[in-house]
Amino acid sequence: MDVQGNVSLRGVAVGYGPIRVFDRLDLEIAQSEFLVLLGPSGCGKSTLLNAIAGLTEIDDGEIWIGDRNVTWHEPKDRGIAMVFQSYALYPRMNVRANLSFGLKVARTPRAEIERRVRTAAEMLQIADLLDRRPAELSGGQRQRVAIGRALVRDAGVFLFDEPLSNLDAQLRSELRVEIKRLHQRLGATMIYVTHDQIEALTLADRIAVMKDRTFQQIGAPQEIYLRPANRFVATFVGSPAMNFVPGRIELGTGGPVFRSASLRLELPTYPFVQAPVDAAPVELGIRPEHVIVAPDAADAHEVSVELSEPMGSDLLAWTRLGDLPLSIRLPAETRLTPGDRLRILLPERRLNLFNVANGARM
C-alpha cells in the first residue's frame, strides 16, 4: 500500500446543482503535515474535506494524492482514512469486527488483519474493548475505535471531520493530545476540520482559516495568531477575543499616527502592507494578553477598571479607555476593585491595524 501523503488541490470547484459552493481553490499540503481547516459552520470546510475524500464530486479541477491524480477515484482507492464527527461505527459489530471489516472485504490475509488490529488497539489503548459493542462504549472510547478503524487502513492521509465536537470538554482535551501524539508517531499527513480554534492552535502545523467558502489565511498557528490577515481571522482565533479600537490614520511629519477619541499612538515601525493613506478609517486590534501594565511609564495611557473576571489561571480585567472597552489579561493574584485606575502600554509590535472597508490587514 503506497504511503504517499502529500495532497494537492488544483482549481477545485464544487457545486450543488446551480449553486457554486467553491470556486477555484488551490491548496498544497506537504507530506506529514498536520493541516487544520478552521472556520464557522457553513464555511465549506466539511465540503472541502469530503471532496478530498471522494465522498463529494467536484465540478472542476483536480485532486492529487501522492503522485496520483485521484479526481475520479472512489474513496477506497485514494489511500485515505477518515474519522467522522458521529463516530459512524458499525453498530451491531463488536470493536474487533469494526476495525477489521474493511480489511476483510479487501481480502487482506488474516494474519495481517490481526497484526494491524493489535497495533492500532495498543496505540489507542482499546485492547481490552475489542469484544464490546459500540453501544457499550463511552463517547471517548467510541472515538478511539473510530480512529482505530482509520489506523488499520495504513493510509498515507488521514481526514478528520470535527471528531471531537460530540465530546465534553475534558475528553476533548484528552483526545486532542492523543491525536497529536499519533501524528508524531505515525508521521502521516493529517487534514483536520474543526470550528474550535483551540484545537487548531494546538494541533496544526498550518491552519487554513475559512469563511464563506474561501481561504482567509493559511499559515502556521503563531502567524495566524500574531499576524492575522484580516479582522475575521483576528476575531475568530484567540480567546478571550481581541480588543478593537476604531480610529484613523494620520500622516504627519513624524510618520504615521493612529488617532482615536481617547488614544494617540505613534507607529514608526509598524509594517504596513500597503502604504497608509491619510485620514483612512482603521481599526486597531490588540490582544488582552499583549497589553502591558506599566505604572511608571511616562507615555502610558490611563484606564479605569469596570469589573474583573477571575478565570483560574489568570484574570481578565474589563476596563475603559475613555469610553472604549478594553480587556486586559493579568496574573491571577492581581487584586482589583472597580474604579481602580491602571497605567498601560500598547506595544507597537503587538498592534494589528485593519482597514475598516474590507477588514484586511494594513
Partner 1 sequence: MSASVRGPHGRRPWKLTPARLGLYGFLIICALFFLTPLYVMIVTSLKDMPEIREAHILGLPTAPSLAAWSKAWFAACTGLTCNGIRVGFVNSLRIMIPSVIVSIIVGAITGYALSFWRPRGAVLLFGVLIAVAFIPYQVFIYPLVRIFSYLGINNSIAGIVTIHTIFGLPTMTLIFRNHFAALPEELFKAARVDGAGFWRIFGVIMLPMALPIIVVAVILQVTGIWNDFIFGLVFAGRENLPMTVQLNNIVNSTQGEREYNVEMAATLLTAIVPLVVYFVSGRWFVRGIAAGAVKG
Partner 2 sequence: MRIGSRLSTHLALAPALLIALVAYCGAMGWTIWISFTNSRMLPSSVFVGLRQYSSLLANERWQVSVQNIAIFGVLFIAMALALGFVLAALIDQRVRAEGLLRSVFLYPFSMSFIVTGLAWRWLLNPTLGIEKVGHDLGLAWFRFDWLVRPERVIYTLVFAAVWHAAGLVMAIMLAGLRGVDPEIWKAARVDGIPAWRAYLFIVVPLMRGSFATAVILLAVSVARLYDLSVAMTNGGPGIASEVPAKFVMDHLFERGNVGLATAAATTMLITVVAVLAPLMYWQYRQPARRPV
Give CA separation, 342 vs 272, 321, 334, 335, in Å: 30, 10, 12, 12
Distances (CA, A) of 92 to 89, 95, 133, 362: 9, 10, 7, 56
From 73-81, 172-180, 225-233, 308-316, span contacting partner 2 (CB under 8 A): 73-81
CB of 62 to partner 1, least distance (A): 5
Beta bridge partner(s), residue 8:
28, 64
Q: What are phi and psi of 153, to 5 degrees?
A: -75, -10
Nearer to partner 1, 6 or 260 (CB): 6
Of 20, 62, 101, 316, the residue at the interface with partner 2 (CB under 8 A) is: 101
Contact between 82 and partner 2 per CB under 8 A: yes
The residues near 331 (Cβ < 8 Å, ≥ 6 apart) are 314, 315
Choice between 70 and 291, CB closer to partner 1? 70
Give whichever of 87 and 244 is closer to partner 2, judged by the CB atom: 87
Among 48, 80, 147, 233, binds partner 2 (CB under 8 A): 80
Residue nearer to partner 2 on the CB measure, 64 or 90: 90
Contacts of 27 (CB under 8 A, 6+ apart): 7, 8, 9, 208, 215, 218
User: Which residue type is seen at 294?
Assistant: A
Preceding peptide of 338 cis, ω within 30°: no
158 binding partner 2? (CB under 8 A): no
Task: Using the rule CB under 8 A, give the single segment among 32-40, 78-86, 109-117, 336-344 that binds partner 2.
Answer: 78-86
DSSP 190-254: EEEEES-HHHHHHH-SEEEEEETTEEEEEE-HHHHHHS-SBHHHHHHSSSSPPEEEEEEEEEETT
Cβ nearer to partner 1, comparing 53 with 321: 53
Give the CA dihedral 85, 86, 90, 94, nearest 10 degrees.
Answer: 100
Single residue of 29, 37, 43, 81 touching partner 2 by CB under 8 A: 81
Binds 60: which of partner 1, partner 2, none (CB < 5-8 Å by kind)? partner 1
Query: Which of the stretches 86-94, 193-201, 279-287, 321-329 binds partner 2 when contact is defined by CB under 8 A?
Result: 86-94
Least distance from C-beta 347 to partner 1, angstroms? 50
Please pick, from the candidates 10, 73, 75, 260, the single residue that binds partner 2 as defined by CB under 8 A. 75
**Cα–Cα dist 5/81, whole Å:** 11
Region binding partner 2 by CB under 8 A among candidate stretches 46-54, 178-186, 285-293, 305-313: 46-54
Out of partner 2, partner 1, none, which partner does residue 71 contact, by CB within 5 to 8 A per kind?
A: partner 1
Give me 213's grid cell: 467558502
User: What is the Cα–Cα distance from 187 to 228, expressed in whole angstroms?
Assistant: 28
CA separation, residue 267 to residues 196, 246, 270, 292, 323 (Å): 33, 16, 5, 17, 22
357 touches partner 2 (CB under 8 A): no
Selected binder of partner 2 within 34, 87, 258, 318 (CB under 8 A): 87
Applying CB under 8 A, the site for partner 2 has a residue count of 30
CB 57, min distance to partner 1, A = 6
Note whether 175 and 146 are within 8 A (CB): no
Site of interaction with partner 1 (CB under 8 A): 13, 57-62, 69-73
The yes or no reply on residue 135 touching partner 2 (CB under 8 A) is yes
What is the length of the chain?
362
- Cα–Cα dist 29/191, whole Å: 9
Binding residues (CB under 8 A) for partner 2: these are: 50, 53-55, 74-77, 80-82, 84-93, 101-102, 105-106, 134-135, 142, 149, 153
